[in-house]
Amino acid sequence: MRREGQPPSGDVAADEAYEGLGSTFDLYSEVFARNSIDGAGLPLRATVHYGHLYDNAFWDGERMVCGDGDGEVFGRFTRSLSVIGHELTHGVTQFASGLVYRGQSGALNESVSDVFGALVEQYAAGQTSDQATWLIGAGLFTPEVQGEALRSMRHPGMAYDDDVLGRDPQPAHFDDYIQTDEDDGGVHLNSGIPNRAFVLVADALGGHAWERAGRIWYDAMTTRLPADVDFAGFALATAHAASARYGEVSAELDAVRAGWHGVGVTIDGRAG
């Protein structure tokens, strides 16, 4: 419907997807010097109007796919730049570390997508950490739903509280980690824990979150992480990244340690 450099198509979803692909490319290119999501110039593609009243968006290993929503709970998924950045970041994770999509590594897979989805949105708007909403999927719910977004990174468990959907079940602390066989071991639930850790780091450092906190997370996710890394292992990777980039005695490393401590994950490999 629209290729690189072409004018708007007139299809709202297609044009939103096009702009979202560009905004995501810009963050990775201009901030992290990454050439597309694979680091080698992979063309970014998207499918819109997927299915019939489809209530989701996903990365299928080659492209982003977005539904139009059912019009009762969800509207079109291309409305949210954070969701577009989230889905494309699954591609970055695919090429960079291949985190196993189950349990804690799966929750980290989801969290990394939320982190960089939020940063895509903030970079496009020029927002500082304290100006940002840290909401993923704001604006996707119809007015009938009592909720702000799919997830809140700053306040996991408080994104929605609705008669039909129920209350946002995400935990914000490792003490409340959800053990379940559903949702690939709770990947969309327990991602709230590392999400909040990142926001704590970004808030402590202040300014634009992509400049320091984002660089630390990017460095950590593009190192040789074990595919089944747990929260403590990823926390240690972020500490190593902060130390390597900013020094063993630095505000950045202190912020990383404090951020993970704030959600019950310690840097020395133990959680709780």
Return the active site residues: 87, 188
With a CB cutoff of 8 Å and minimum separation 6, the contacts of 145 are 73, 160, 162, 164, 165
Radius of gyration over every alpha carbon of the chain, rounded to an integer in angstroms: 18
Question: And the tokens for 121?
Answer: 């949105």
Give the residue among 93, 113, 92, 80 at the shortest CA–CA distance from 188.
113
Instruction: Identify the three-state secondary structure at position 216.
Output: helix
Question: And the tokens for 269?
Answer: 């490999």
> How big is the chain, counted in residues?
272
Dihedral sign for Cα atoms in the order 34, 38, 42, 48: negative
Angle CA 170–174–176, to nearest 5: 55
Dihedral sign for Cα atoms in the order 86, 88, 91, 92: negative
